[in-house]
């Protein structure tokens, strides 16, 4: 079983094709009936596919590119595996992207070198289209990617057929006019540009710790050459709005006014990499059982009628995440234990444990049995008693206990105090930039569904981004649910609450948050 190299859906959403390059197969699915209706096995390695037919066409034409040659084969999606046409001399390299524009009866294909071509459907024998507004490619910007040697990673077409958008590894998002083949807008999505903007607009309204975490993640993405291989762009039904992933969430860009009108998921601790729109338009039969919709009904506040209003959804994917995320206008359902009606229970933790996680659990089972789960942190302001969670967060607990047993934390100061929020320590340099785990390198986050920052006096790992835990830790003095999914909770205070509060109320330097009076850890006693 191998991964799909591409998935293609036809113009009206009734047929889907999945492509598997390793197995040389293409499977055809009837979406309405949720059924596989055809499977092709080819003598070549298919790379990508695109349905190139309209409703009036008798043949459900499916274009498939060869991963090892510039050829494009046309098949009948409901027929046999014999090609009905072959486009041989259009490209000089294997075709990497291909999208059909039903409104213009135009297919746009881009090869691995970045050369972009237009061709039409079966009615005009797959020749150069007559519906476009140019005759020669020299009058267009279709050579742009070949010139800069930055072939795009994704190609998205607007439903109206007026625009198409691309995104390249250099983080440039280009919007083209389909009829004219001209670039109408280039958006710079580089990290440098976002950092410069953050200085002017207060980090996009994010907390300093959240913004620092996002910047650290973007730097990791810059080092990952395959990070943007699965990026996705999406147009709305009007074709005027483009939804694309960015370092600050999903951005909704108005092509007409050339402005970002909304950011979605800005405060979420993930880096979105793709977005798709589900219109969720109810039919007339669903809404009022076929009855006419009157002005009084439209103006009514009756919740039973509002239930059938248009409720669009945006389905998003994220970097290095196995789950997907749903954005709607509706509030998340509250669970039985969600007494205050908050959205803290919105996340569904249903991933199966990875094999390496299971092996780690077995390897450490005996070690965890002897792991202490209580400690007393002796400070110059008094004692703080904590309970650890070695079962839920084994690595963070082991790291803390081992460092404490070695005397690593002795003499460390509380270098960062934010009133009515946290007190932080565990850095031998006292500057907030040092510290090392017992393994000599950063270790991964450990998020448990039963451990949340929903109450004060939680003990959590400090970090500079995902999976960057070292030796620093902090205590919260208020509920801080926005830290869920960002910082590992590995313990909680059981006694000495007044000491934590006293440290939190000490005078600090305004810029650094460092206490004016030095407060140190004297030692840590581990209890068996």
Nearest-angstrom CA–CA distance, 277 and 284: 21
CA atoms within 13 A on the CB side of 219: 10
The mean per-residue pLDDT over the stretch 113-126 comes to 93
pLDDT in tens, 404-449: 999 999 999 999 999 999 999 999 988 888 899 998 889 999 999 8
Tokens of 109: 């294909």
pLDDT exceeds 90 at position 347: no
Residue 217 in any domain: the answer is no
What is the domain-level CATH number for residue 440?
2.40.100.10
Residue 493 in any domain: the answer is yes
The range of the structural domain enclosing residue 475 comes to: 371-527
Tell me if 60 sits within 8 A of 10, measured CB to CB.
Answer: yes
pLDDT in tens, 364-397: 444 445 578 999 999 999 999 999 999 999 999 9
Task: State residue 376 phi and psi, 5-degree precision.
Answer: -125, 120
CA dihedral of residues 174, 178, 180, 184 (deg, nearest 10): -30
State percent of the chain over pLDDT 70: 86
b/e per residue, 45-54, with b = 16+ CB within 10 A? Answer: bbbbbbbbbb
Confidence of residue 53 (pLDDT cuts 50, 70, 90): very high
Beta bridge partners of residue 20, listed in sequence order: 25
Residue 61 in any domain: the answer is no
Residue 408 in any domain: the answer is yes
Position 299 scores a pLDDT of 57
Contacts for 314 with CB less than 8 Å, ≥ 6 apart = 234, 243, 250, 264, 275, 276, 277, 278, 326, 327, 328
Residue 444 in any domain: the answer is yes
Domains in the chain: how many in total? 1
Confidence of residue 207 (pLDDT cuts 50, 70, 90): confident
Confidence of residue 340 (pLDDT cuts 50, 70, 90): very low
Residue 462 in any domain: the answer is yes
Confidence of residue 341 (pLDDT cuts 50, 70, 90): very low
Residue 132 in any domain: the answer is no
CA 11, 14, 18: angle at the middle one, nearest 5? 85
Number of H helices, E strands in the chain: 10, 30
Residue 501 in any domain: the answer is yes
**C-alpha to C-alpha distances, 243 to 7, 190, 260, 277, nearest whole angstrom:** 20, 17, 10, 9
């Amino acid at each position: 079983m191998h991964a799909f190299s591409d998935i293609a859906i036809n113009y009206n959403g009734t047929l889907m094709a999945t492509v598997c390059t390793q197995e040389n197969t293409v499977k055809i699915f009837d979406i309405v009936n949720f059924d596989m209706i055809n499977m092709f096995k080819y003598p070549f390695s298919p790379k990508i596919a695109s349905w190139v037919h309209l409703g009036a066409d008798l043949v459900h034409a499916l274009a498939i590119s060869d991963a090892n040659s510039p050829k494009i084969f046309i098949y009948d999606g409901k027929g046999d595996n014999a090609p009905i046409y072959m486009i041989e001399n259009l490209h000089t390299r294997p075709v990497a992207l291909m999208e059909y524009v039903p409104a213009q009866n135009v297919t746009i294909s881009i090869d691995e070198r970045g050369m972009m071509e237009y061709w039409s459907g079966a009615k005009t024998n797959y020749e150069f289209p007559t519906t476009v507004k140019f005759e020669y490619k020299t009058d267009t910007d279709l050579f742009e990617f070949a010139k800069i040697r930055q072939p795009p990673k994704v190609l998205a077409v607007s439903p109206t057929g007026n625009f198409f958008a691309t995104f390249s590894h250099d983080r440039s998002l280009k919007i083209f006019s389909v009829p004219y083949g001209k670039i109408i807008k280039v958006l710079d999505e580089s990290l440098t540009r976002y950092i410069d903007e953050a200085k002017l607009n207060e980090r996009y309204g994010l907390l300093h710790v959240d913004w620092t975490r996002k910047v650290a993640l973007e730097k990791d993405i810059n080092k990952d050459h395959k990070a943007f291989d699965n990026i996705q762009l999406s147009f709305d039904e009007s074709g005027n709005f483009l939804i694309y992933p960015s370092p600050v969430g999903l951005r909704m860009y108005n092509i007409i006014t050339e402005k970002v009108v909304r950011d979605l998921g800005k405060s979420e601790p993930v880096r979105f990499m793709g977005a798709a729109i589900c219109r969720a338009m109810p039919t007339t039969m669903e809404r009022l059982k076929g009855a006419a919709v009157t002005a009084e009904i439209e103006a009514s506040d009756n919740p039973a009628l509002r239930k059938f209003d248009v409720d669009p959804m945006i389905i998003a994917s994220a970097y290095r995440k196995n789950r997907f995320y749903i954005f709607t206008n509706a509030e998340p359902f509250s669970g039985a234990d969600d007494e205050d009606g908050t959205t803290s229970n919105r996340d569904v933790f249903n991933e199966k444990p990875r094999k390496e996680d299971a092996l780690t659990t077995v390897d450490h089972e005996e070690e965890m049995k002897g792991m202490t789960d209580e400690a007393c942190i002796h400070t110059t302001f008094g004692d703080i008693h904590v309970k650890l969670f070695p079962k839920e967060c084994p690595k963070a607990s082991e790291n803390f206990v081992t460092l404490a047993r070695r005397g690593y934390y002795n003499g460390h100061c509380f270098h960062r105090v934010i009133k009515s929020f946290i007190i932080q320590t565990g850095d031998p340099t006292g500057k907030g930039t040092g510290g090392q785990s017992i393994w000599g390198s950063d270790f991964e986050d450990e998020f448990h569904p039963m451990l949340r920052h929903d109450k004060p006096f939680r003990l959590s790992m400090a970090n500079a981004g995902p999976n960057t835990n070292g030796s620093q830790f902090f205590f919260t003095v208020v509920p801080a649910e926005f830290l869920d999914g960002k910082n590992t909770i590995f313990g909680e205070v059981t006694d000495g609450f007044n000491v934590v509060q006293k440290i939190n109320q000490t005078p600090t330097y305004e810029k650094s948050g460092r206490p004016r009076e030095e407060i140190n850890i004297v030692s840590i006693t581990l209890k068996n």
